[in-house]
């Protein structure tokens, strides 16, 4: 029920946002897919220190069993264009769209923009999540209390697995555990990453656990709680909550509603999208984590995606039908692209070559394909009702940490 109320608030916000920003197109900046812009060092009060100028993140105490980072300066170094893991090189390039309101998954050929197939799932599929070993795509049927596996080689669904309240799904960096974000149950449930058998249930002191990202050394992860405006820092190996933070919000705004979480390339900062405060919270990643600043991006800030050159963070602003680009070096929003005619960009992923953002239009029953180089809307593809956490697959990277595709 809380989720329904919250979504209603966001819908109202989205309507007002579209009318308030009619005619807005972009702020100044270079094309998203072009070479990084030159930038002045940020002031200490306006932006985090640049990755290239800071001390590389030391990782002497990696979570045992996790693959060592390719670079001490860039946790996303494995995501460069075309660097497909051996496990996925034969998989066809597809877009997998969970339609929460239709209880279906739509599969799209990204080269023709045509729908290949649509199949039914259990109630309210929320996200399509690549497994840690990249061999399975899991459809999170939240109210259906199941995970539907998809074989990415054929695109065909398999027999559902019983899992209670799987709103979202992550995997620990060592590949030993799946972590179910059981939002309604107020739990993080550690499960076997293949059978999904329960290993440990961790009750959480907040409402609406939904998104997360892991520290550079994999020893902890930050979880957002959308309905209580809180964040949790969780010890990966001990499987316990280390810290609880409440976002402060902004004067005159709704209470915070944190969504997607992403780590900076140098591993020093977490970025948390807040769809009610309309931007990003920046936190130090070293435990205990601290809230450092807030960066406005647009109404309904929601999904976060790192470009394949690790220079920019893409933010979907669901409430105003736009996407913003944040320069990691300067900490500033350098460009905004408005979807023609408006829309509701929600969750998605970047194409393997890094040229196109694929994102669901949550309240418009469509999927958008947006080219970074010129901001052109390449396609607006009709799908089912309530398209949400779509997966672009395969993508570069050695293993998946979950959600719609967080690869390292």
Over residues 365-405, the pLDDT tens digits come to 999 999 999 999 999 999 999 999 999 999 999 999 999 99
Task: Report the pLDDT value the prediction gives residue 338, as an integer from 0 to 100.
Answer: 97
Q: Quote the CA–CA distance of 350 and 370 in Å, as a whole number.
A: 10
pLDDT for residue 25: 32
Query: Nearest to residue 195, comparing CAs of 131, 104, 126?
Result: 131
Sorted by sequence, the CB contacts under 8 Å of residue 88 that are 6+ apart come out as 134, 152, 393, 394
Q: Summarize pLDDT for 73-83 with one digit per residue, the tens.
A: 999 999 999 89
Q: Is 214 left (phi over 0), alpha (psi -120 to 50) or beta?
A: beta
Residue 24: is its pLDDT beyond 90? no
What pLDDT score does 13 carry?
36
Q: How far apart are CA 318 and CA 226, in angstroms?
A: 15
DSSP state of 383: -
125: pLDDT confidence band, cut at 50, 70 and 90? very high
Give the residue from 191, 148, 138, 184 showing the smallest Cα distance to 165: 184
Contact 236, 204 (CB under 8 A): no
pLDDT single digits (tens) 346-357: 999 999 999 999
CA dist., res. 316 & res. 298, Å (int): 8
Catalogue all structural domains in the chain, each as residue range(s) with its CATH number: 94-393 (2.130.10.10)
Is it the case that residue 45 has pLDDT exceeding 80?
no
Tell me which residue of 322, 290, 283, 284 sits closest to 303, measured CA to CA. Answer: 322
204 cis-preceded (ω within 30 degrees of 0): no
* pLDDT value, residue 250: 74
pLDDT digits (tens, 9 = 90+) for 295-330: 999 999 999 999 999 999 999 999 999 999 999 999
CA neighbours within 13 Å on the CB side: how many for 6? 18
Cα angle 81, 83, 88; round to 5: 120
Confidence of residue 5 (pLDDT cuts 50, 70, 90): very low
Instruction: Tell me what pLDDT residue 252 has.
Output: 77
DSSP reduced 3-state for 5: helix
80-94, 242-256, 262-276, range with the lowest pLDDT: 242-256
Which is nearest to 163 in space by CA: 120, 194, 133, 204? 194
* pLDDT of the residue at 363: 97
Which residues does 107 contact at the CB level (< 8 Å), separation at least 6?
A: 94, 95, 96, 97, 115, 116, 117, 118, 155
* pLDDT in the model for residue 71: 94
Does pLDDT of 23 surpass 50? no
pLDDT of residue 59: 53
Residue 57 pLDDT exceeds 50: no
Q: Is the pLDDT of residue 339 over 80?
A: yes
Give the pLDDT band of residue 155 (cuts 50, 70, 90): very high
Residues 191-243: tens digit of each pLDDT: 999 999 999 999 999 999 999 999 999 999 999 999 999 999 999 999 999 99
Classified as helix, coil or strand, 12 is helix
């Amino acid at each position: 029920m809380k989720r329904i109320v919250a979504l209603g608030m966001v819908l109202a916000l989205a309507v007002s946002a579209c009318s308030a920003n009619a005619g807005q197109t972009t702020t100044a900046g270079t094309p998203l897919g072009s070479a990084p812009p030159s930038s002045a060092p940020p002031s200490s009060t306006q932006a985090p220190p640049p990755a290239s100028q800071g001390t590389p993140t030391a990782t002497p105490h990696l979570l045992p069993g996790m693959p060592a980072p390719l670079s001490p300066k860039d946790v996303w170094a494995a995501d460069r264009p075309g660097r497909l893991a051996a496990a996925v090189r034969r998989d066809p390039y597809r877009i997998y769209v969970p339609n929460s309101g239709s209880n279906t998954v739509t599969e799209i050929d990204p080269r023709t923009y045509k729908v290949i197939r649509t199949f039914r799932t259990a109630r309210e599929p929320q996200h399509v999540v690549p497994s840690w070993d990249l061999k399975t795509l899991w459809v999170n049927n939240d109210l259906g209390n199941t995970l539907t596996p998809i074989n990415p080689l054929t695109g065909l669904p398999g027999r559902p697995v019983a899992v209670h309240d799987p709103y979202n799904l992550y995997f620990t960096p060592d590949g030993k555990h799946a972590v179910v974000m059981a939002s309604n149950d107020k739990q993080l449930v550690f499960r076997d990453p293949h059978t999904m058998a329960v290993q440990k249930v961790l009750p959480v002191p907040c409402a609406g656990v939904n998104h997360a990202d892991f520290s550079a050394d994999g020893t902890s992860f930050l979880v957002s709680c959308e309905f209580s405006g809180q964040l949790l820092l969780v010890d990966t190996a001990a499987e316990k909550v280390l810290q609880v933070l409440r976002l402060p919000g902004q004067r005159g705004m709704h209470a915070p509603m944190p969504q997607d979480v992403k780590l900076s390339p140098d591993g020093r900062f977490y970025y948390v999208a807040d769809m009610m405060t309309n931007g990003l919270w920046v936190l130090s990643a070293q435990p205990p984590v601290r809230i450092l600043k807030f960066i406005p991006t647009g109404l309904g800030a929601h999904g976060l995606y790192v470009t394949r050159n690790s220079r920019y963070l893409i933010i979907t602003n669901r409430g105003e039908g736009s996407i913003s680009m944040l320069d990691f070096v300067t900490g500033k929003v350098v460009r905004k692209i408005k979807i023609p005619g408006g829309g509701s960009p929600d969750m998605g992923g970047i194409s393997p070559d890094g040229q196109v953002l694929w994102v669901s239009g949550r309240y418009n029953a469509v999927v958008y394909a947006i080219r970074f180089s010129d901001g052109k809307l390449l396609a607006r593809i009709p799908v089912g009702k309530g398209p949400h956490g779509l997966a672009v697959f395969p993508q570069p990277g050695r293993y998946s940490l979950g959600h719609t595709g967080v690869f390292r």
